[in-house]
Amino acid sequence: MRNENDFWLIDSNSVGVIRFYKNNEKKENLIEYMLIEEGIVMGIHGENPPLMKSRREMKISDARLFWRNLINEGWQETKPKWK
């Protein structure tokens, strides 16, 4: 089951995965942030644990723009690939 604050994309090759989720800690004048985790699906059918590549933080407005750019490049929404 997907958390309501978790959003997932997978690339057109079904290898690269990006998770967007809200950072509940408040920062700088209550500006909200999203955490962005990038990883690679491992195994032919994704049966192995993913390989985590990076984790970063973005303002929500920047994360929305990043999401839209990825969708325009062919990324698609997907189910969660890790917890």
Do residues 60 and 33 lie in contact, with contact meaning Cβ atoms separated by under 8 Å?
yes
How far apart, in whole angstroms, are the C-alpha atoms of residue 43 and residue 83? 17
The pTM (predicted TM-score) of the whole model is: 0.83
Q: Give the structural domain span for 24.
A: 6-77
In a domain, 82, yes or no: no
Is residue 28 assigned to a domain? Answer: yes
Number of domains making up the chain: 1
CATH number of the domain where residue 61 is located: 3.10.450
pLDDT at 1 over 50: no
pLDDT for the residue numbered 75 = 97
Residue 81 is predicted with a pLDDT of: 83
Residue 43 lies in a domain: yes
The per-residue pLDDT for range 26-62, each reduced to its tens digit, is: 666 656 889 999 999 887 766 777 889 999 999 999 9
